[in-house]
Amino acid sequence: MLAARAAGHAVQTLEGLQEEAADFVGFIADQGADQCGFCNPGFVMNTIALLRENPDPTDDEIRAFLAGNLCRCTGYEGQLRGIRSYLDSRKGGAAHGA
């Protein structure tokens, strides 16, 4: 998006979402999905947007949100596992780092 199109709108960057992101980024790292770091900011922003819209997404819904983010290392499965692990932990399922 061109910056001029954002005129008059609030813009939130990753730096402003660090507290919200801190809840789940460790789960993604536990899956080895942060190899080169190129895609991490986009995955974090996409995951926050997804969970705001849908706090209990299916794997297909997670994949749909991740699809627009270029990852050159992992093939997206690690991110999917990390997000799923985070969601399961919120429901009282598998613990972080397990």
Sequence-distant (6+) residues with CB within 8 A of 58 are none
In the chain, what are the domains? Answer: 21-90 (1.10.150.120)
Do 43 and 58 contact (CB within 8 A), yes or no? no
What's the predicted TM-score (pTM) here?
A: 0.75
- From first to last of its 98 residues, what are the pLDDT tens digits of the chain? 788 999 999 988 888 888 888 888 888 888 877 777 788 888 888 888 889 999 999 999 988 888 888 877 777 788 888 888 888 888 876 544 44
Helix count and strand count (H, E) for the chain:
5, 0
